Structure 1
Amino acid sequence: MTQQPHPCCVAVSAEDITVLIADDHALVRDGMRGLVIEVLGEVGVIEVGDGDALMRAARTQPPARLALVDLNMPGMERGFRLAELAHHHPGLPLVVISALTSPDVVRRTLEIPSVHAFVPKSSPTEQICAAIGAALRGEKLPFAHRAVEAQRPEVVLTPRMEEVRQLLRQGMSNKLIARTLGISEGTVKNHMSEIFKALQVSNRTQAAQLDPDTL
């Protein structure tokens, strides 16, 4: 029996529609595929697990009508390559579904014209459904800041960690930071590890670029 579209979503014809699902976890892709079929009916689905595969899949013909993209999979540089995807494929509506929900990440992502919604991975099905519908209608879905911020733990950096981070923002190496603060380079590395964990980032560039007003 043919799967009927979900009642909470926009009515579209499933014929010739392809949806691109990009996430590095197979279980997540399986869940998203099931949701897409529940929402839209028996559409075509392309699944990829990293940023490079996403860029290749976006060039397929006929083009996908919608892409559901995780920011934090390999090859996405924690979302910074999303702008590249949007630049080369401005007609591809994007819905970002991500565990990265800092205000700076959300703001930067929603500034991309072809991103129609930003949905935390912890969101209920109805919110993802609404995002899919908005993207297919060409609408921009507002982000529920308060709901996400209430779930985020408060970011706390010790005074020493903040000193290290400020020197990092000046472009200093670990060796130079150690010399400036009069501590060992190993201690600086330990502070860096704790800073990355607190800010939910994975490298020096992201730690330096993160908007300090969001801490």
Structure 2
Amino acid sequence: MTTLLIADDHPLFREALRGVVARVLPAATLREADSVEALYAMVEAEADADLLLLDLNMPGAHGFSALVHLRAQHPELPIVVVSAREEPGVMRRALDHGAMGFIPKSADAGTLGQAITAVLDGDRWAPAAARAAPAAGADEHDAARRVAELTPQQFRVLQMLGAGLLNKQIGYELGVSEATIKAHMTAILRKLGASNRTQAVLVAGRLALDPGSIAPQPDEAGD
């Protein structure tokens, strides 16, 4: 039994993907997530899933960070990025960070089905323009390597840090003490090779879809 995971915050597009999968793999089991937190829980619960269709632009996904994290935590799970960001450079970067395929959201149902089938058969699939685009730079690969070393909880803290939350706010969201968050921050800074929160955000920001848009975050005493 084939199990496919769909992570997209747009109900209409999830419905479209369900329709394509139903035609290509009528016996497949589908699981869906409409948020980043639901995505992580779904992947943990479906350890034997055959494929994840991942939207890059889900709120909280922060560019390629979620892709890098999932590839590190679940290397056996093939991931295909499905995105409205169709620039060749963005597609190539997704492939460079471990995606088995990239399907533009503008693709028709036939192309979607072809791509899904190809990846399930063990092949990579992406538009020709993606393969012709320049590869991700050395700094970006280094950032990906460092982010991949984070534990799931450390990664969540980093994501919230990138969203501008302070330690107390992160602790509240995760249901842990501020002291625990400070301990996570110490480990995050060490693994990212950063000396403060601003540097940590900038390292992770190399994985953003538009790296130049990342704004430094204020440091806190005791970080």
Alignment TM-score, normalising by the size of structure 2: 0.56
Q: Which of 65, 69, 74 does residue 50 from structure 2 map onto? A: 65
Find the counterpart in structure 2 of residue 172 from structure 1: none
Number of residues of Structure 1 aligned to a counterpart in Structure 2: 138
Find the counterpart in structure 2 of residue 116 from structure 1: 100
Q: Which of 112, 115, 121 does residue 131 from structure 1 map onto? A: 115
Change (3 A) 1:44 1:204: same
Q: Note if 1:48 corresponds to 2:33.
A: yes
The residue matched to 2:100 in structure 1 has which SS?
strand
Which consecutive unaligned segments of at least 5 residues does structure 2 have?
A: 134-208, 216-223
Distance 1:46 1:142 in 2: 23
User: Residue 103 of structure 1 aligns to which amino acid in structure 2?
Assistant: P
The residue matched to 2:89 in structure 1 has which SS?
helix
Find the counterpart in structure 1 of residue 145 from structure 2: none
Find the counterpart in structure 1 of residue 71 from structure 2: 86
The residue matched to 2:81 in structure 1 has which SS?
strand
Q: Which has the higher helix share?
A: 2
The offset of 1:32, in angstroms, is 0.6
Deviates more, 1:53-62 or 1:122-131: 53-62
Superposition misfits of 4+ residues, deviation over 3 angstroms: 200-203
- 1:116 touches 1:131 (CA, 8 Å); kept in 2? no
Q: Note if 1:76 corresponds to 2:61.
A: yes
Q: What is the CA RMSD across the aligned residues, in angstroms?
A: 2.3
Larger Rg: 1
The superposition leaves residues 82-124 of structure 1 with CA deviations (integer Å, 9 ceiling, x where unpaired) of 11111111111111110012233211101133x2211110011
Find the counterpart in structure 1 of residue 168 from structure 2: none
Q: Note if 1:204 corresponds to 2:213.
A: yes
Find the counterpart in structure 1 of residue 191 from structure 2: none
Following superposition of structure 1 onto structure 2, how do residues 10-21 of structure 1 map, counting pairs within 5 Å? 16-21=1-6
User: Residue 87 of structure 2 aligns to which amino acid in structure 1?
Assistant: S
User: Residue 91 of structure 1 aligns to which amino acid in structure 2?
Assistant: E
- 2:5 touches 2:30 (CA, 8 Å); kept in 1? yes
The offset of 1:53, in angstroms, is 1.4
Distance 1:81 1:106 in 2: 15
Following superposition of structure 1 onto structure 2, how do residues 163-174 of structure 1 map, counting pairs within 5 Å? none
User: Residue 205 of structure 1 aligns to which amino acid in structure 2?
Assistant: I
User: Residue 9 of structure 2 aligns to which amino acid in structure 1?
Assistant: D
- 1:116 touches 1:134 (CA, 8 Å); kept in 2? no
- 1:21 touches 1:45 (CA, 8 Å); kept in 2? yes
Percent of residue pairs bearing the same amino acid type:
37
Distance 1:40 1:102 in 2: 29
The residue matched to 1:77 in structure 2 has which SS?
coil
Which consecutive unaligned segments of at least 5 residues does structure 1 have?
A: 1-15, 150-199, 207-215
- 2:64 touches 2:97 (CA, 8 Å); kept in 1? no
- 1:24 touches 1:50 (CA, 8 Å); kept in 2? yes
User: Residue 127 of structure 1 aligns to which amino acid in structure 2?
Assistant: T
User: Residue 8 of structure 2 aligns to which amino acid in structure 1?
Assistant: D
